[in-house]
């Protein structure tokens, strides 16, 4: 085994975010992680398994998620090691209060939390006998956001939150407006949960009306005192006027009149979503129907939300532990091929490691523990994909790239499932496993026949196990490209906060520097904004077929991109993606990374 050595940036990140007091090297942290996570094994296996974990982690062939790196062995081992959680509040005072309380506990333990607030009655609905008094779903997000302002976990880590609202919910326009136009919900990423029916309505150019509890809501065009225009989402004209009087009356003598129903076209709503997204980075979309169809758990779980980065679809109080195969290490030294044996070994080690994390983890609430244990959900991902492609001489997003990704992720999927099957044989399947229902799930139907036969015989340890996290910080820790993203740029400036002081640094991609100094071909060093948006999407869509959970990926758009250009491409691919997020260069002030073009003068 060759121990990984951190470069200057990696060492800075390690010291600032992950090192236990007294630790100086990655090897020290890897040894602690391996020992803590191997403690889940029976006594006669502990030494052997700990050694395999240490070899994989110490070499950085396998990189655990940030919570695992930080938390292992800390506070006498009693620490939350999971990155991701979801809470779905019900439409009651008690549930909303518990949501805020549990979010605070989870965030203080270092977990990011996703919320779908679509069960909350719309703003202006009745509460019992008190008419038009409901504060609405956005009000709940504002409460959670305020609590998030006061949370710091780990080494000054801010809370990470995701807010999702269904495309059918009457509060949708307010949901978009409050984040994008009013600058609120600053601790949240936001996404709109789209449905098959909505996508059909967009294609057919149909009107779109909202629904809640089987009641229809339409958009009414009103005037106040015969002049100013208002658009109110309500159940009928009388209800629209009552809502206007409750929320928009400025003076006692103000009067309101309905002019007409003014329902929005589904296509126009789709375009509004992408206009906002291209211009500001929010919202993303979450394909809630596909996520609940293309999975293994629909017979016992409803996946209403994702975690804050979007890579895991989860039920209420669901959670996931993350770790990643470092694909940059999975290429033969001469660059002729993938080291398939090393890849398979690392995948198997990663699945066992993450399953053990669930066993030793200290969950922040009893409900999180119960939901986590019933499915034993884990999230094995990858990082360093672009570095792997560069070493193999494959251009990111090319047809050759897509063909290669099919083979690569078929291998990762199959090795993951075989290992989880063998763990089920030796330990037990996940508690909710029932082979007929499991094998009838849409994702399980895509597994090879030999793996399906093994599942029938032995069961499977983890209900779902494959995802693509963003891997931003842990990839920089080990000096590789992040997740399945292309490198940001061969050269860039990086703005970052250190001890609450903003610093700026010129960064040359380490693999680019190596290739440049060795006078090797630089043809495959395309940056994130050099890859055509459709090629970004094609990479994501190709990999999604092999993931039983979701993918965190950003579709990078050049500064000149317009919402109109992207809207149709998004519509074409939306049925095949569980989530879609875009970012246009320059959309937000103070961007942490600024690309430096590759020119003769710069090189």
pLDDT tens digits along 357-378? 999 999 999 999 999 999 999 9
What is the pLDDT, as a whole number, of residue 73? 92
How many Å apart are CA 109 and CA 154, to the nearest integer?
A: 8
What is the pLDDT, as a whole number, of residue 602? 63
Number of Cα atoms under 13 Å in the Cβ half of residue 436: 0
Q: Quick check: 463 and 430 in contact, CB under 8 A?
A: yes
Q: What is the 3-state secondary structure (H, E, C) of 478-490?
A: CCCCCCCCCCCCC
Q: What sign results for the dihedral spanned by CA atoms 168, 174, 179, 180?
A: positive
The tokens describing 151, both together, are: 């949370």
Helix (H) or strand (E) holding 584: strand 579-584
Q: Quick check: 496 and 602 in contact, CB under 8 A?
A: no
For residues 63-92, give the mean pLDDT: 90
Which residues are CB-contacts of 31 (< 8 A; sequence separation ≥ 6)? Answer: 54, 58
Which residues are CB-contacts of 468 (< 8 A; sequence separation ≥ 6)? Answer: 311, 381, 382, 483, 484, 543, 547, 550, 551, 552, 553
Q: Quick check: 325 and 381 in contact, CB under 8 A?
A: yes
CA dihedral (11, 15, 20, 25) in degrees, to 10, reads: 20
What is the pLDDT, as a whole number, of residue 75? 74
- Helices and strands in the chain: count of H runs, count of E runs: 21, 23
**Please, what is the end-to-end C-alpha distance for the chain in angstroms?**
35
How many Å apart are CA 14 and CA 306, to the nearest integer?
A: 28
How many Å apart are CA 461 and CA 481, to the nearest integer?
A: 31
Q: What is the DSSP letter of 15?
A: I
Nearest Cα residue to 49 out of 35, 33, 63: 35
How many Å apart are CA 163 and CA 113, to the nearest integer?
A: 9
Maximum distance among all Cα pairs of the chain, rounded to whole angstroms: 82
Q: What percent of the chain has pLDDT over 70?
A: 97
- Binning pLDDT at 50, 70 and 90, where does residue 55 land? very high
Q: Look at strands 593-595 and 207-208 and give their pairing.
A: unpaired
- Binning pLDDT at 50, 70 and 90, where does residue 603 land? low
Residue 199 has pLDDT above 90, yes or no: yes
pLDDT in tens, 582-592: 999 888 777 78
How many Å apart are CA 444 and CA 448, to the nearest integer?
A: 9
Residue 78 has pLDDT above 60, yes or no: no
Nearest Cα residue to 131 out of 28, 245, 294: 245
- Active-site residues, by number, are 307, 309, 311
pLDDT in tens, 477-502: 999 999 999 999 998 887 877 778 88
CA dihedral (73, 78, 82, 85) in degrees, to 10, reads: -160
What beta strand segments (E) does 201-336 contain? 207-208, 210-212, 215-224, 228-234, 256-261, 264-265, 284-287, 305-306, 313-314, 319-326
């Amino acid at each position: 085994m060759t121990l990984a050595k951190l470069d200057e940036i990696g060492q800075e990140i390690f010291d600032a975010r992950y090192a236990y007091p007294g630790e100086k090297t990655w090897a020290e942290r890897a040894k602690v992680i391996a020992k803590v996570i191997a403690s889940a094994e029976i006594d006669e296996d502990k030494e052997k398994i700990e050694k395999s974990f240490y070899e994989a982690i110490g070499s950085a062939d396998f990189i655990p998620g940030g919570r695992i790196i930080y938390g292992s062995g800390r506070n006498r081992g009693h620490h939350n090691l999971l990155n991701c959680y979801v809470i779905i509040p019900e439409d009651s005072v008690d549930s909303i209060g518990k949501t805020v309380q549990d979010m605070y506990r989870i965030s203080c333990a270092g977990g990011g939390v996703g919320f779908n607030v679509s069960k909350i009655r719309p703003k202006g609905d009745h509460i019992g006998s008190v008419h038009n008094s409901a504060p609405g779903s956005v009000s709940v997000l504002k409460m959670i956001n305020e609590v998030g302002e006061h949370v710091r976990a780990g080494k000054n880590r801010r809370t990470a939150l995701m807010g999702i609202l269904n495309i059918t919910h009457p509060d949708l326009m307010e949901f978009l407006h409050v984040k994008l136009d009013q600058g609120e919900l600053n601790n949240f990423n936001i996404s709109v949960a789209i449905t098959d029916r909505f996508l059909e309505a967009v294609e057919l150019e149909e009107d779109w009306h909202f629904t809640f509890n089987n009641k229809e809501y339409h958009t009414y065009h009103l005037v106040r005192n015969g002049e100013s225009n208002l658009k109110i989402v309500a159940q009928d004209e009388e209800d629209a006027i009552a809502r206007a009087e409750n929320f928009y009356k400025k003076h006692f003598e103000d009067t309101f009149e309905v002019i007409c129903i003014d329902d929005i076209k589904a296509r126009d709503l789709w375009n509004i979503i992408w206009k906002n997204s291209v211009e500001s980075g929010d919202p993303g979309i979450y394909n809630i129907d596909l996520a609940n169809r293309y999975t293994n758990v629909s017979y016992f779980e409803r996946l209403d939300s994702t975690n804050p980065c979007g890579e895991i679809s989860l039920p209420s109080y669901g959670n996931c532990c993350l770790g990643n195969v470092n694909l940059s290490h999975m290429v033969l030294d001469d660059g002729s091929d993938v080291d398939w044996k090393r890849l398979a070994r690392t995948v198997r080690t990663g699945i066992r490691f993450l399953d053990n994390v669930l066993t030793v983890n200290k969950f922040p609430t009893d409900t999180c523990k119960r939901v986590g244990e019933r499915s034993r959900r884990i999230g094995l991902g990858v990082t360093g994909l672009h570095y792997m492609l560069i070493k193999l001489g494959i251009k990111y997003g090319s047809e050759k790239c897509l063909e290669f990704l099919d083979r690569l992720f078929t291998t990762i999927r199959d090795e993951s499932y075989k290992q989880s099957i063998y763990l089920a044989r030796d330990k037990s399947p996940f508690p909710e496993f029932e082979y007929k229902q499991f094998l009838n799930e849409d994702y399980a139907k895509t597994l090879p026949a030999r793996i399906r036969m093994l599942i029938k015989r032995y069961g499977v340890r983890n209900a779902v196990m494959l995802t693509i996290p963003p891997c931003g910080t842990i990839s920089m820790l080990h000096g590789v490209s992040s997740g399945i993203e292309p490198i940001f740029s061969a050269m860039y400036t990086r703005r970052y906060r250190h001890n609450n002081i903003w610093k700026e640094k010129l960064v040359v991609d380490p693999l680019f520097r190596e290739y440049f100094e060795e006078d090797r071909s630089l043809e495959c060093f395309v940056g994130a904004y050099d890859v055509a948006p459709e090629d970004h999407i094609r990479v994501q869509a190709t990999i999604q077929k092999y993931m039983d959970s979701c993918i965190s990926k950003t579709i990078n758009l050049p500064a000149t991109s317009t919402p109109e250009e992207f809207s149709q491409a998004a519509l074409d691919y939306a049925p095949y993606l569980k989530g879609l997020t875009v970012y246009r260069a320059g959309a937000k002030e103070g961007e942490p990374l600024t690309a430096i073009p590759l020119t003769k003068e710069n090189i």
